[in-house]
Amino acid sequence: MANQTLPDEERYLGWVTLAWTIAVITCALSVWLVATMGMVKIPRLSIYSTAPAGTETVINWTIWGWAIGQSLAALLFAALFSIANSAYRNSCKTVAMLVKQQPTPKAEDLTTIDPTSGLRVEQVRTASPLEGVFHPGYRLLRVNGQEPEDANDAAALIVKGENQLIYCNLEGKVCTHKQKMQPGPLHITFTEPS
């Protein structure tokens, strides 16, 4: 994980800003709507005649309800975006903290490894991710710092991402090879150490 890119904490900050901008604009338009159409004048009828006796100012409940509803919906929408962004940022911080806590593997001193130990390569099939790297006669000494006991153990030590393989070539030189791989069979036939 240390070699991989950590998630970007600021990834959704633009969307949160947009949601709050929409909420502020909606609230401002709601205030304007209430100020201009929130009160209506209706004719007041006289008890004694059919002619209006004047006007009466009353609240336009439809406009008030619409304005308050739209404002609350926009604020809730922006708040939900903020909560989701906060959860995402916290998960990014957790991942970063876990990566920092992982101990950095120490480089193994290749001179201390016995080049006659390990698994002897008999055949490398074309399906192998290590085709062209390993050849018959090579010895697989370590996979990610662990000495494999057999072909299944070697495959089980492979992790998703970068793997470090230490091997001995035909000249007896101990070498290191790093390669990104997926967990699974290596498609290599080994002779187990005696």
Structure tokens belonging to residue 64: 């008030």
Please provide residue 56's backbone torsions phi and psi, each rounded to the nearest 5 degrees.
-130, 135
Q: Lowest mean pLDDT: which of 74-88, 105-119, 149-163? A: 105-119
Tens-place pLDDT, residues 11-57: 899 999 999 999 999 999 999 999 999 998 888 877 777 767 778 88
Whole-angstrom distance, CA of residue 149 vs CA of residue 166: 14
Question: Torsions phi, psi of 129, nearest 5?
Answer: -70, -10
DSSP E strands in the chain: the ranges are 39-45, 52-59, 119-124, 139-143, 161-168, 174-181, 188-191
The amino acid at 55 = T
Domain spanning 110-191, CATH architecture: Roll (2.30)
Would the pLDDT of 79 be above 90?
Answer: yes
- Taking each continuous run of H as one helix and of E as one strand, the counts in the chain are 3, 7
Query: Which residues share a beta bridge with 120?
Result: 139, 191
| Confidence (pTM) | 0.47
Query: Could you read off the pLDDT of 132-147 as tens digits, one per residue?
Result: 999 999 999 999 888 8
Angle between helix 61-101 and helix 13-37 axes, rounded to 10 deg: 170
The pLDDT of 98-104, averaged and rounded, is 61
Write b or e for each residue in 130-160: b if 16 or more Cβ atoms lie within 10 A of its Cβ, otherwise e: beeebeeebbbbbbeeebbeebeebbbbbee
Map out the domains of the chain as residue ranges. Answer: 13-101, 110-191
* Percent of the residues in the chain that have a pLDDT greater than 90, as a whole number: 43
